[in-house]
Structure 1
């Protein structure tokens, strides 16, 4: 459906309803509904600013964001219209902060938001939004809907309305330093095993290094060959680099859950580790939300500009290719690249992996709507951790399978381990015969002698 085919959407229509009952998950004690609602309002007000006010006033209800959302497109359910996911917070804005808030309250215009309504809306804020930003890109009014949903998560966390699986991994990351149990002790053991098994030097806790490399728990626990690939590339280039047990986990579940204090804690571990070893560059792993958390929000968490460069691993590889330092053997195969939303669409590093693939001599077979318009894998934003969201996520994944099958590549690759995990899960669910690979691992396999 094109934009011309769309009709204005009535967001107040009763057909916008959430049919699935939601669970309450409150780790802040037995609070009353009024206390929970007040906490959500305070959190929403704390995050509120001029940009958010402009966004909330700008929506013309054209419906184009719906056609940009993989959850709406695959279900046809209007409740998944992206801007609709913010309905309770739009009402809070109108009644508490808008230019006519006094008038709304005086005449009791519009429904007053309740704790029960926020509880009902939990599924839209968490289960049905990967924060991929495709709706933001499409919006003719330039509304950053993804950013507003992220702010809404701050309020939902304050009200104790985070899905329990997402809360559990975020709390574990805050407590142990890793959402998947990849503690510093586990990291040391893994590094020692990988170094010996693969006969590669993987430096850990060097006092001084020009580059601090970081990882995601998914790589440490599920895709450890990515760590070997990272070491082989950096060693081949003769870089002064290290991993650090003081700051290695780049995945930021504080950000995904909506807890800004945890988000800052997780970011500061990386920042302080980089400062401690005097790093000039911090390399982020193949993880989309890690890129957003540190590259674009890290300075806000730090309180001033970061005193080192932050690069996604694909950007680092592309730079090394451009400078003529990274020599690669021809791959000689057709490749389709899946763009991670937070790196490409939200982060702007769309061309970096393509530079690397050109250096590999690969025949790049782009899917329809590739690059910044790429469809999300369906598992970002923490959605892959929420079990009750699985049926919805699998529906969204059908878009990816159809697009990739239409191009029929010999090799499928990406630069996000979370996307890779989502593809593995979708592959198993649908018994699909394609396997997602790692761009970094592909490069390591093709290093020229």
Structure 2
């Protein structure tokens, strides 16, 4: 057995705990998870059934952790997992799962299939069977501070532009302020208008904030890759910076996995609670609205719909907050079928969008989202995740759809009441 295969199998074994054993014991192979999966529904290919993507972990569990499996292994009736098996399963685990959580939501016995995929990726990654794009992004993030590489010059340039456009100062590494803002690389590279939008809103609301040079990147490639060591390092980087600055809270940006990694998984990764609050930017804006500190004037008259990012809504619990904000600034807000917690994924999350090999399958999966949009025919689509924004921009162009995509924070800032 090769050293990499042994590492991978050991990583899988480490993931097999009581919840995993309960999962494999209680799964009745009902197929409901398949009906909830964008990749199965788009292709009707049985290999994309979510539970099937976990077959290798199930084999390890059965062969090594159950009595009948051990006997079968000794008699040569069950085969061990090989390096060839892991290689064959890599596209299923990384190309055909965005970890959107829709399958988990419909499981009749409550199995968290999404988390099981995460555990499966731990073994795949340790065995060296992960997309080269994610491996490279993790290395750049660990060594240079961002999955896109060295972004300090770009960040400072975008901050300078925001200051010039708004006349509002944005300070780096300022201690004792209310919040430390983290940004996704996608926002810095593609959607930097969010900086000016936050500046105007926070100025009006009387919120003090800063950006850390040591930890400005919100994305956590370790979560997508399935490498807890990388994920832990990236979370700890943000925690150290926030605690050094003594802020009351860290604002997670319009990025799904960033929010999931820091808010819900981070304390478990580093082994202790934070000394600060983690709040998503949309949660904060809704809180300011409720407190009377966010006032708007006028409304967008276009026909707008909202795309719910999976990690923020379904996995993160932020559902009504964006709708309350949408109703503040829109005159013609229409919901799609299955909006909210059962919304269809954009198809690019969980590292799938970074994986070039998955492009054809990703395009096929988008037809479920397209069907949602075609039924309401909006002028534009609003979302609260920069990577959803990026993915939707690309696939809308690919399918010759003319809608534009808007970020919710920027939309709210556009209608900020300057006289209030």
Describe the SS at the equivalent of 1:412.
Answer: strand
Q: Using the alignment, how far apart are the partners of 1:362 and 1:415 within structure 2?
A: 19
Deviation at 1:99, TM superposition (A): 4.9
Q: Is 1:428 equivalent to 2:397 in the alignment? A: yes
Q: Deviations over 1:3-43 (max 9, x none)?
A: xxxxxxxxxxxxxxxxxxxxxxxxxxxxxx53222111111
Determine the structure 2 residue equivalent to 1:20.
none
Paired position in structure 2 for 1:272: 240
Shift of 1:408: 1.9
Which residues of 2 match residues 148-227 of structure 1 at below 5 A? Answer: 148-227=116-195
Name stretches of at least 5 consecutive residues in structure 2 with no aligned partner: none
Show the counterpart of 1:125. 93
* Alpha-carbon separation, structure 1, partners of 2:67 and 2:169: 61
Match of 2:210 in 1: 242
What do residues 386-413 of structure 1 show as CA deviations (whole Å, max 9, x unaligned)?
1110010011112112211211223310
Deviations 1:69-114 (A, max 9, x none): 0001111111000010011110011112235442232333333211
Q: Is the 8 A contact 2:154 2:189 kept in 1?
A: no
Kindly indicate whether residue 338 of structure 2 is the aligned counterpart of residue 396 of structure 1: no
Contact 2:16–2:61 (8 Å) recurs in 1: no
Q: Is the 8 A contact 1:321 1:359 kept in 2?
A: no
Matched, 1:284 2:252: yes
- Name 2:113's counterpart in structure 1: 145
What secondary structure sits across from 1:113 in the alignment? coil
Q: CA deviation at 1:182?
A: 4.5
The structural deviation recorded for 1:361 is 4.6
Contact 1:233 1:444 in 2 (8 A): yes
- Counterpart Cα distance in 1 of 2:150 and 2:328: 34
Structure 1 residue 301, shift from structure 2 partner = 2.1
CA distance in 1: counterparts of 2:234 and 2:152, whole angstroms: 14
Coordinate RMSD, CA, aligned? 1.4
Q: How many residues align?
A: 417
Q: Give, in whole Å, the separation in 1 of the partners of 2:136 and 2:39.
A: 25
SS at match of 2:171: coil
Structure 2 distance, partners of 1:64, 1:157, is 28
Change (3 A) 1:439 1:109: same
SS at match of 1:425: helix
Structure whose residues are more often helix by fraction: 2
Provide the residue aligned with 1:60 in structure 2: 28
Offset at residue 200 of structure 1 (A): 3.0
CA distance in 1, matches of 2:154, 2:90: 34
How far apart in 2 are the matches of 1:306 and 1:120?
40
CA distance in 1, matches of 2:85, 2:70: 22
Deviations 1:245-297 (A, max 9, x none): 11110110011111111111111111111111111111100000011100101
CA distance in 2, matches of 1:169, 1:430: 28
Contact 1:254–1:261 at 8 Å: present in 2 too? yes
Shift of 1:329: 1.8
2:321 is the counterpart of 1:352: yes
Structure 1 segments of 4 or more deviating over 4 A?
none
157-166 vs 325-334, which moves further: 325-334
* Separation of aligned partners in 2, 1:55 and 1:448: 52
Secondary structure of residue in 2 paired with 1:297? helix
Tell me how far apart the structure 1 counterparts of residues 76 and 283 of structure 2 sit (CA, whole Å). Answer: 53
Aligned residue number for residue 22 of structure 1: none
